[in-house]
Structure formats: structure tokens, C-alpha cells
Structure 1
Amino acid sequence: MRRKIPSTAALVSFESAARHESFTKAASELSLTQSAICRQIGSLEAFLGIELFKRSRRGVKLTDAGLSYSRRIASQLDAVERDTLSVMGQQGTSVIELAVVPTFGTQWLLPRLKDFQTRHPEITVNLTNRTRPFLFADTDFDAAIYFGDADWPGTLAYRLMGENPMPVCNPTLLEGQLTLSAERIAQLPLLQQTTRPHAWRQWFSERQLHVPRDMTGPRYELFSMLAQAAMHEMGIALIPPFLIQRELEEQRLVIASPHALNSAKAYHLMIPERKTSTVSLQAFRNWLIEQAHGYTLPEEHPAAGVANR
């Protein structure tokens, strides 16, 4: 069935004329004559059956329908241009569109991606932030790195690592001590993670401690936000050490207690079942699992040793 789509030339002419609100400027931008722009927009209006511009001796002005349509067309043409440039730039390479939870992507994955590029220069990995599951069939994503229980229909899950967050804070909050007791931590402002609302309650429970205010305190959606708040002495936060390795090494944050929060959930690489045989995804999967399983905190980082640095 033939699509109900006007000519690309007419859409490009309309988008330019709408952006400038001038047929003359659109003609100059597109290296066409003004009469050619008029014809293209006239044919588009005839195709749509609506008036896109109001003409007068003083020039042209978008109608309400024209304004609404121009906004939609502009975004669609931008998307077509991006996709076209992407294909032109591939030149025989494979591209992996990867959805990734933000802090994991920026703090752990990105610093290691150069190694993958060195090993597989023929594969390009594009990263986009996504925090929750989605339907792969409705997106362009080839895979996702996701924190949870790996319950994602239609996919195969590859476990990367557990989270195991630990209490971290600005060194000044230690007040000269190497670590803080759970009782002392309970007295400090507790920074909360929006998607892990029970984290502090679970941590105190594992220490056999009941803290009435364990779910109070400012809430932040991302671990990177928690880290910034902790560095600015706003309180103490539960953060996985592998997400703040640089901050720990530079002593902007220290681990305040050697006790990590045990969690059944973990970071997983999720690949749709229909794409598991893709060569580029297999290469990325193998490399990522190797990096994750080979990662350990540096020797000087375990527990109190970090606080002493």
C-alpha cells in the first residue's frame, strides 16, 4: 500500500520557509528560486488540504496548523538527517545501540570502552541512558545494561556484578577516625537513593539496628547525585565503590564502614533472544563479562583501608 507521505522536496522547502517565515530566505538557503519554493509549498498545501501560510503584501506568516505541522516535520527531518549521517559514517563498521543506566555507564563502562575499541575497531558502541525496562521491539536498541533481577521477557540475561553499596562520606565527617560505627552513622544525615528507598533500612537491619529515621533525608535519583551531595558534606550515602573509584582514589570520598549492603539484584547485560547470534553483540558480551568478572577493588580499597587514605 502506498504511504500517505508528501514529497521530501516539498517538506524540506516547507521546513525552511517555516523556520525563516520567508519564502525568499528559504529559496536562498536551499539554492532555489522563490517561485520554486512557492510551488513546493503550494503542492504540499494541496496534498494536505489545509493552508500552511497566510500570504500578504508584507510577506508570509504560519497558520496555527502550519506552526504545529512545522514543529513535527522539523523533528522528523532532523531524525532522518541523523540516521543518514550515521549510516554514511559507518563505512562498513557494525554499530551497537546500547541502553545503559546512567551512573554505571559514565563511571564504570565508559572508562573501559577504549579497550573494546582497540580490540574491535570495526564495532561502534553508542550509549543512551535508560533506567527502566522497555520493549526492544519498540526501540532501536540492540542490548541494555540494567540493574535488577533479570526478569525481562524476550531477552537473555548475562550477570555482570552485584551492587553491594557501602556507606561513604566526605573525609571530614570521620572526625579523625578510620571508620564510623553503625550507631554513629545513624546520627548523620542519611542521603537516600530514589530507586532504592529501603537501602538504609536494610543496611541497619543487617547490623541488628533499628533506626526510626532510616528512610528520611534528601532523595536523589542517580548515584552520581548522591556522590556529589556526599562530597559536599550534606550527609552519608550508600554507594557501590566501583561507581566512585576516582572519588575514592582522590580522597574526595571515603568508605565510612566496612559493611556492604548485600543485594540479590545485580547489573545485567540484556540481549533480545532474536539478536543473541549477532557477531558484534557476541564480541561485546564476551568483552563486557570479562571486564566485569575481572574487576575487583584495588587492594588499598577494602573497607577501612580506604578511610585511612
Structure 2
Amino acid sequence: MIPRRLLPSIALLTSFDAVARTGSVTAAARELNLTQGAVSRHVKALEEQLGGDLFVRERLTMRLTLAGDSYVREVRDALRRISLASLNFRANPNGGTLNLAVLPLFAMRWLAPRLPAFRQAHPEIILNLVTRLDQFDFRAEPLDAAIHFGKAQWQGAECAFLRKEEVMPVCSPDLLARFGFSSAQDLRAAPLLILVSRPDAWEKWLSAEGAPAEGVHGMMFDQFGTLASAAIAGLGIALMPTFLIEEELRRGELVPALDRTSPSEDSYYLVWPPERGLHPPLARFKAWLIAECART
């Protein structure tokens, strides 16, 4: 247990953060609807509690010390977490909240259409979704879980398998008509579109098909959604998970450059920090999500 004397009050921390952001006691007091004297006393009390100066006091401004600059970053993160927890409680005081990081196109095409069934089964749970493309640290973000594509490991987190995927080279009908692909090697004559998070996907696919895989270059995209849009516009061939482009294939906006699918080496997983494993909303969502994936 951290000694009580080392835990500053929210009032002190809020005043400190406001002065650090505005560089002025006057501006901070105006923002917080307090008197200048109250804000000054809060900052001074915090410095006395911590045992050091947080600011260099100049004639018209307050400038953070090096230690103060480091401290305010931690304080802001803590205040943000407290604020989010309070908002979540206010939004759902009788149930629970689950903060989930998702992959954009997976969330839009696969998860979102199925969420009404989860909400109907568990109306007491508020599900908050944020999109994440890059790796992140659960210790640095207020997240309960994430949907991850890759291996069954994520920075010490626990994992539950969700599903695999198959990928297919797809393009616009006009591009297919122009090139008339008949083999994997033929695809090298057209522009290849590349997803930043899967930079070697084309090399792996071409190698598996017995085609030259060296020197693959092309336009790069950070999301599957923009990658698919570029392929629809005729900019090149995209290697896409088939279950995420069912609508485009059905409408004929995308067509197989070659009618060949192959399984990806990686899979989709639900991942969560071990300390959140018994969080009731997560346990219910995990059970529902695994069952839903098993049906598709």
C-alpha cells in the first residue's frame, strides 16, 4: 500500500496540470473557475508534498522544471484514466464497461454487424471500440482487450484463438480485362498494392504459387479499407482476406485476379492483460466472440 502522504489530491493535480498546460496561474485559474490564490496554493502544496520544485517561476509565466515535465506526463495519463473510468461508470452505473481495441476493417465488416446480437444478450455491458493498427502496450492504454492479427503472443498478454483467414489476389474488372492473368507469374506485370502491416505478404504468396517473389514493389497503404478502394479504382492488385471483401466481390467491384485462395500464416486472436482476465464484461464478450467465430 502506498503511504497516504505520497498520494496528492485530485484538486492539487488538476491545478498543476492546468498551470503546466497554460504556463500561467491566471489562465489556469480562469480555466478551473478558481481564484489565482487557490491555484497558487495548490501548486505550492503539491511541491511541498513531493519535496521539490515543479516550476521555474518567471515574471509572467511558469515554466516546468525537467522533473516537473516528466511528472506532468504521468499525472495527465492518470487524470485521463480517472476521467474515462468516471465517464464509463456514469454511462452504465448498473453494469460493466469493456474497452476494446479493434482492427478497422475487421470491426467494420465482420464485428459491427454481429454486435447487435451481443447487445441483445448482454444489455448491461457498454462496449467501447477504438481502432488500433500498430502494436501497443496494455500498460500504457486504458484497454481491457484487443483483437489482434498475428501469432498467439502479445507482450505477455493472454490470448484466445478466434479464426484464420484465406487471402486472394483481387483487382478491378477493367484491370483483369487489360492484363488477362492466367498464372501467378503474370501478376508481376501489373502493379501490386501492399499493406504496410504485412509488407512480405506478396512475397509469401508468390513463393507459395511457384512464381518469382524477388523485388516486389508498389503503392503502400496502412489500412485494408484504403487498399481495397485503391484496387477498386484500378490502381493495382490487392492481396485481401476473402471474408472482409464479400460485398465487393458480390457486387463485382472486385474480381479475383486469379481464382486461388491460400491460408495466411497468422490468425486473429482476442488478447487481454492477465489482470483483466476475470473482468466480467470481458469474460462474457470472450465467450460470445469465440462462439460467433466458430459459426463462421
TM-score range, shorter chain: 0.7 to 0.9
* Bigger Cα displacement from structure 2, 35-44 vs 25-34: 25-34
How does the TM-score come out when normalised to structure 1? Answer: 0.76
Please give the alpha-carbon distance, in whole angstroms, between the structure 1 residues aligned to 2:21 and 2:159: 46
Please give the alpha-carbon distance, in whole angstroms, between the structure 2 residues aligned to 1:134 and 1:31: 36
Change in CA separation of 1:204 and 1:86 when aligned onto 2, cut-off 3 Å: same
- Which residue is equivalent to 2:288? 287
Q: Which residue identity lines up with residue 2 of structure 1 in the other structure? A: P
- Which residue is equivalent to 2:269? 268
Please give the alpha-carbon distance, in whole angstroms, between the structure 2 residues aligned to 1:239 and 1:162: 13
Q: Which residue identity lines up with residue 115 of structure 2 in the other structure? A: L
Please give the alpha-carbon distance, in whole angstroms, between the structure 2 residues aligned to 1:184 and 1:43: 72
Q: Which residue identity lines up with residue 30 of structure 1 in the other structure? A: L
Q: Which structure has the larger Rg?
A: 1
- Which residue is equivalent to 2:160? 157
Change in CA separation of 1:31 and 1:244 when aligned onto 2, cut-off 3 Å: same
Q: Which residue identity lines up with residue 123 of structure 1 in the other structure? A: I
- Which residue is equivalent to 1:224? 225
Change in CA separation of 1:232 and 1:276 when aligned onto 2, cut-off 3 Å: same
The CA deviation at 1:287 is 2.5
Report the 3-state secondary structure (helix = DSSP H, G, I; strand = E; otherwise coil) of the residue aligned with 2:18.
helix
Q: How does 1:1-309 map to 2 (within 5 A)?
A: 1-2=2-3, 4-47=6-49, 48-50=51-53, 52=55, 54=57, 56=59, 60-65=60-65, 68=69, 71-72=72-73, 73-130=75-132, 140-151=142-153, 155-158=158-161, 160-175=162-177, 180-182=181-183, 183-207=185-209, 209-213=210-214, 215-270=216-271, 279-295=280-296
Please give the alpha-carbon distance, in whole angstroms, between the structure 1 residues aligned to 2:249 and 2:255: 6
What is the aligned length? 289
CA-based RMSD of the aligned residues comes to 3.4
* Bigger Cα displacement from structure 2, 229-238 vs 25-34: 25-34
Q: Which residue identity lines up with residue 110 of structure 1 in the other structure? A: A
Please give the alpha-carbon distance, in whole angstroms, between the structure 1 residues aligned to 2:280 and 2:13: 38
The CA deviation at 1:167 is 0.9
Any stretches of 5+ residues in structure 2 without a counterpart?
Answer: none
The CA deviation at 1:136 is 6.0
Q: Which residue identity lines up with residue 247 of structure 1 in the other structure? A: E
The answer to whether the Cα contact below 8 Å between 2:54 and 2:64 also exists between their aligned partners in 1 is: no
Question: Deviation digits for residues 116-155 of structure 1, max 9, x if unmatched?
Answer: 1122111222334455777767765443322234356663
How does the TM-score come out when normalised to structure 2? Answer: 0.78
Percent identity, please.
35
